[in-house]
Structure 1
Amino acid sequence: MLASLSIRDVVLIEALDLEFGPGLAALTGETGAGKSILLDSLGLALGVRADAGLVRNGAAQASVSASFDLPADHAAFALLAENEMAPEPGEPLLIRRTVKADGGSRAFVNDVAVSAALLRALGGTLVEIHGQHDDRGLLNPRGHRALLDIFARLDGKAVADAHAQWRTAQEALAMAEADVEAAERDREWLEHSVAELTKFAAEPGEEAELAEARSAMQKGARLAEELAAVRAHLDGSEGALAGLRQAARRLDRLSGEHALLAEALAALDRALLEADEAEDKLSRADEAFAYDEGKLEAMEARLFELRGLARKHRVEPDALAALTEELSGRLQRIEAGGEGLAALSREVKLAREAYWAAAEAASAARKAAAARLDAAVAGELAPLKLDAARFRTTIEPLPEAQWGPAGLDRVEFEISTNPGAPFAPLVKIASGGELSRFILALKVALAEEGGAGTMIFDEVDRGVGGAVASAIGERLARLAGRTQLLVITHSPQVAARADGHMLIQKRSDGLVARTGVHALDVGERREEIARMLSGAEVTDEARAQAGKLLGAM
């Protein structure tokens, strides 16, 4: 709810600080006292277009600050969270707007600068202002479907979920169709590429293996003569190994004659072991460096072809195997595309049918609720001197292209204000007082939950009195049991229903006129209601009548 309002240098208001409580608050005062300035000031804080004409004459700028105490689940906090501005839990929401005399304006939410667009969106969640020139709230057809759903206690989750599943199925089908269409255009290229890649059968890591083997074979060709010379020194009857073995056999017969000979034999045996190991490694080196001209040519040809295929398909050589699988899969999807598209089409059809069933159930619930709402509003019209008016809730089917998460329906509240007159949108009503009373009737009938936490009615009692004014006051009080409500009124019957009463007065020192607001105590309140009853001169009879009105409430 609106907790406080501070106004500085707005038109006739030099400095004004107001505090508000729950329930119904009445603002009264003589015509021209400045009640509209209060609404303009609050509208400025809520994002209405800034007008330099609001700046008090001689002041550099005007400023308005509004503080709101809101429950944790209020829509304003969700909106701020979307803009990464969520306040700390338990903090009030403070809005401040300034307008310079040259027309420039700035807006702040909890001391953080915000755009005018965000401020307007935020203001729409906080306060509803219903008056002659209001074109928001109940007058906006875009919100009528949601209001009817609240009245019907309709849970739209089933429709929204079914719509999401239908859209997902449609998107999957569209993507599959696009893939098949694109793939079909590339079919000839795919067939050639898959055949070529499959025949070549590249393997991951093959390039490195071929390059290493080719390098080894090329080295073998260069080292073959040297290795042959080394083998000649070691092998054969005249080679070093044969000489070592012959020497070891002879020394073995002599080793028992002296310890040194035994040690010499042991050293010779170790040399033979090392020489045998050297011979083994030379043999393995021969195998590693084995040079086969035909094999080398084949190896180089495959390596060059491998790299050529990689360049052709713009991938690394090691990725050719994966590319073969990918292109083969695309080709298979083309061949199986008809079956896949048929399956996805069936899923779309089933999802559409499920959405239609959920949306039709919601439409039926709306139609039943519309009949109840029409009857409830009709019951409120006569006491508010709108007995010639008729109200109806129009529900029309939307074209399929406009079906959405909320269903198949367009909903709009319409009225006919005179017998025989056609029904028209609420916003077409000409009389401001009539419009405010009609909105009051609709608000009471809807028993709306989840709307703005504060509502303001501007002269809802215009042009009526007596029993009608009492009926308006009774309905305002009833509505104020669910939400904070401020009413600007000229009716003593309405003012007497309020939980709190503020008097708006304009004073002049002969040079400058100023507007002020005074919260009335019990005695002052009786005096003000007596003034509203009697006019310029307050009589004892008017005071007695004011006391009766207050006592009856």
Structure 2
Amino acid sequence: MLTRLGIRDVVLIDRLDLEVASGLSVLTGETGAGKSILLDALGLALGARADSSLIRHGAGPAIVTAEFELPDGHPAWALLREQGIDAEDGQILLRRTLGMDGRGRASVNDQSVSVGFLRNLGAALVEIQGQFDQHALMDPGNHRAILDQFGGLLDSVGGVRAAYRLWQAARDSRQSAEAALERARTQEEYLRHVVAELQKLAPEPGEESELADRRARLQNRAKLLSTLQSALNDLAGENGAEMRLLAASRTLSRAPGQDPAIDAIITALERASNELAEATDGLESLMRADGWSEGELERIEDRLFSLRAAARKHQVTAEALPGLAEKLSADLAALDAGEGRLKALQEEERLTRAAYLEAATALTSYRQEAAGRLAAAVTAELVPLKLDKARITVEVAPQPEGAWGPEGRDKVGFLIATNPGATPGPLAKVASGGELSRFLLALKVVLAGTSPVPTLVFDEVDSGIGGAVAAAVGERLKRLGDHLQVLVITHSPQVAALGAHHWRVQKRQASPDARVTTSIDLLPLDARREEIARMLSGADITNEARAAADRLLG
């Protein structure tokens, strides 16, 4: 609940620190005393639109702080956690600063936040209802959640949400499978051709780099073999050293006479021929080494060409060809098996839709039962509020499938008719300002036990009424105060007398030349008596008015 409101330099308020208690607090004062300034200031702290006209004339920036204490589990804590704001002490401090240039700052627990976040947080903390305000209860978009809260249906709604998520997931899977199958069907002939082509090519992971390395080695080997072959030709060719040695030895063997020197030369030539034969064998051995075959380099280059041509054709790298072949083969297999898988997905979607519909239908039934109880409870509250001829209808209307959602298939609306025989219509369009305030008050009283908003502010909810009706309004505000913190700006003495706390708003002027300021005082019992007597009789307070005030105060 709201525990403290601090206001600095807002319109007629120069400095105000208001400690706010639980229960029903009433604020009274003469017209123009500045009661609406309090609402403007509180609204500023809660994220309302800023206007530099709120700044007190001749003063510095306007500053408003609002401090709250909340129980564990309140929705506001989740908002703070999402924003990364620390609130370990159980308190929330909202601060809004507004400069003359219209610019300002917003913070929560001294951490800067956007005004949008401040507004969302403020909506979870305080609800302000003016006679002509757009109230949360008047927004049809809130009616379903309000009915679910009243009926204790949040667990059922959670089950419907879970069923909806499963249904939507199954539907998405089915739609994806259908789209994939349709795409595959349009490309089936091409797909089969490409798969057959890649299967024939049979690319292997890492094959291109291995082939490129092997080709480089073979290209170097080819250069070496060319050198070895030239050397072999020089040794063993037709005009090579081997034939010349043999020819020289034959020529010398036919030389006349038995010259020992010639024999020695022939012996040397034989040795040279033996060495030459050994060199030739060595060259031939080198040429046969490394598994060399004459067509291997050509085969490797042909394979590389095929791999790279296929990669260019399919706009991938050669290294990606095995993955492409695997993917396209899977697509083809999916096409072949697609009908069966699609049927399975269609059956899953049918089952999850049926489960959702069963849960949503049960929720519709629960809502319709809760709607009857809510309408009866509100109608009972309308009688003492002098709206006994009015009736409220809580309409639960199942919608076509296109409008189904995670909260079910129902459209919920609060409709009223203020006269017998009239067709019920939306709250904001049917009721007058005074009637609407009483309708909303009756709704609030009935919903008080389920409202997550801890603080309610009513601005002249009793406008235009008096006597027994005003007393009935006051009784209901007091009952609201048993569950929630309620602040009421009122001109009704009947309402004011029922407050647990009574604040008087008034203008003050220290001297004729001084500026007028607004102050707020918490009234003790005697002062309350005088204030209520003033509200009954006007400026001239009579003993009769004081006696009437005593009766109201009980």
Task: Please classify the TM superposition score into its range, dividing by the shorter chain length.
Answer: 0.7 to 0.9
Which residue does 1:109 correspond to in 2? Answer: 108
Aligned partner of residue 503 in structure 2, secondary structure: strand
Map of 1:297 onto structure 2: 298
Q: How big is the shift at 1:221?
A: 3.7
Pair 1:537 & 2:540 matched: yes
Contact 2:9–2:61 under 8 Å retained in 1: yes
In structure 2, do the counterparts of structure 1 residues 202 and 461 end up closer, same or farther at CA, with 3 Å as the change threshold? same
Q: 1: distance between equivalents of 2:76 and 2:475?
A: 30
| Other-structure match for 2:363 | 362
Range 457-466 or range 12-21, more displaced: 457-466
1:70 maps to a residue whose letter is L
Structure 1 counterpart of 2:512: 510
Q: Which residue number corresponds to residue 437 of structure 2?
A: 436
Distance 2:434 2:314 in 1: 77
Aligned to 1:121: 120
Query: CA separation in 1, counterparts of 2:222 and 2:548?
Result: 126
Alignment of structure 1 residues 62-81 onto 2, 5 Å: 62-81=62-81
Give the structure 2 partner of residue 24 of structure 1: 24
For residues 454 and 550 of structure 2, what CA distance do their matches in structure 1 show?
Answer: 31
Give the equivalent residue in structure 2 for 1:492: 493
Change (3 A) 1:45 1:193: same
Per the alignment, residue 523 of structure 1 pairs with 526
In 2: Cα distance, 1:100 partner to 1:213 partner: 78
Structure 1 unmatched runs, 5+: 234-280
Look up the match of 1:208. 209
Post-superposition offset of 1:316? 3.4
Verify the 8 A CA contact 1:5 1:66 in the aligned structure 2. yes
Q: Paired residue for 2:95?
A: 96
Q: Distance in 1 between matches of 2:309 and 2:52?
A: 74
Q: Alignment partner of 2:21: what SS?
A: coil
State the secondary structure of the residue aligned to 1:202: coil
SS of alignment partner, residue 30 of structure 1: coil
Q: Which is worse superposed, 192-201 or 411-420?
A: 411-420
Deviations along 1:42-83, whole A, 9 cap, x unmatched?
A: 12222222223322233344332212222242222322333x
Q: Which residue of 1 aligns with 2:276?
A: none
Q: How many angstroms apart in 2 are the aligned matches of 1:385 and 1:462?
A: 14
* Aligned residue in 2 for 1:3: 3
Q: Is the 8 A contact 2:390 2:417 kept in 1?
A: yes
Instruction: Report the Cα offset of residue 544 of structure 1.
Output: 4.1
Indicate the SS of the match to 1:49.
coil
Deviation by residue 1:475-501 (Cα, 9 ceiling, x = unmatched): 212211221111112223322222211
**What CA deviation, in whole Å up to 9, does each residue of 1:127-171 have, x standing for no partner?**
111121210321111111001011111121111011111111111
Structure 1 residues 3-53: Cα deviation after superposition (integer angstroms, max 9, x where no partner): 111222222222221110111111111222221111122122222222233
Identity %: 53
Contact 1:216–1:288 under 8 Å retained in 2: no
Evaluate the alpha carbon distance shift between residue 284 and residue 406 of structure 1 in structure 2; reply closer, same or farther with a 3 A threshold. Answer: farther
Match of 1:397 in 2: 398
Following the alignment from structure 2 to structure 1, what is the Cα–Cα distance between the partners of residues 367 and 429? 24
Question: What is the TM-score with the length of structure 2 in the denominator?
Answer: 0.84
The residue that corresponds to 2:316 in the other structure is 315
The aligned residue for residue 197 of structure 1 is 198
Deviations 1:187-226, CA, capped at 9 Å, x for gaps: 2332221111101112123233333443444444444477
Amino acid at match of 1:64: V
Q: Provide the secondary structure at the position in 2 that maps to 1:163.
A: helix
Alpha-carbon distance in structure 2 between the residues aligned to 1:120 and 1:514: 28
Distance 1:284 1:328, change over 3 A: farther
Secondary structure, counterpart of 1:71 in structure 2: coil
> 1:35 maps to which residue?
35
Shift of 1:288: 4.8
Q: Distance in 2 between matches of 1:190 and 1:27?
A: 80
CA distance in 2, matches of 1:290, 1:216: 12
Distance 1:290 1:282, change over 3 A: farther
Distance 1:225 1:87 in 2: 82
Q: 2:418 touches 2:431 (CA, 8 Å); kept in 1?
A: no
* Alignment CA distance shift 1:111-1:329 (3 Å): same
- Contact 2:25–2:503 (CA under 8 A) maintained in structure 1: yes
**Paired amino acid for 1:28:** T
| 1:522 alignment partner AA | L
1:259 aligns with: none
Q: What is residue 260 of structure 1 aligned with on the other side?
A: none
SS in 1 for 2:483: coil
1:437-489, CA deviations, whole angstroms, 9 ceiling, x for partnerless residues?
21111111223424211101122222333333332222212211221111112
Q: Which amino acid aligns with 1:317?
A: A
Q: Relative to 1, partners in 2 of residues 1:285 and 1:140: Cα closer, same or farther, differing over 3 Å?
A: farther
Partner residue in 1 for 2:150: 151
Q: Tell me how many residue pairs correspond in the alignment.
A: 507
Are residue 137 (structure 1) and residue 136 (structure 2) matched?
yes
- 8 Å Cα contact 1:217/1:289 also seen in 2: no
Shift, 1:287, TM fit: 5.8
Which consecutive unaligned segments of at least 5 residues does structure 2 have? 236-281
Query: Which AA in structure 2 matches 1:546?
Result: A
> 2-side partners of 1:423 and 1:221: how far apart?
99
Q: Deviations over 1:486-535 (max 9, x none)?
A: 11122233222222111111224434322110011233223322333343
Structure 1 pair 285/385, CA: closer, same or farther in 2 (3 Å)? Answer: farther
Contact kept, 8 Å, 2:106 with 2:114, in 1: the verdict is yes
* TM alignment of 1:153-168, pairs within 5 A: 153-154=152-153, 155=155, 156-168=157-169
Instruction: Give the conservation status (yes or no) of the 8 Å contact 2:364–2:398.
Output: no
Whether the 8 Å contact between 1:16 and 1:516 is mirrored in structure 2 is yes
Q: Give RMSD over aligned pairs.
A: 3.0
The CA distance in 2 between the partners of 1:10 and 1:200, in whole Å, is 83
Matches for 1:449-460 after TM superposition, within 5 Å: 449-460=450-461
Q: 1:216·1:289 contact (CA, 8 Å) conserved in 2?
A: no
Aligned twin of 2:413: 412
CA contact (8 A) 2:50 2:102 kept: yes
CA contact 2:85–2:109 (8 Å) conserved in 1 = no
* Equivalent residues of 2:505, 2:520 under 8 A apart: yes
Q: Is the 8 A contact 1:526 1:547 kept in 2?
A: yes
The equivalent of 2:352 in structure 1 is 351
CA offsets, 1:415-455, max 9 Å, x none?
11223333221122554332222111111122342421110
Contact 2:87 2:109 in 1 (8 A): no
CA shift in 2, pair 1:32/1:209, >3 Å = closer
CA distance, structure 2, for counterparts of residue 352 and residue 402 of structure 1: 14
- Aligned to 1:538, the other structure's residue is in SS state coil
Change (3 A) 1:440 1:297: same
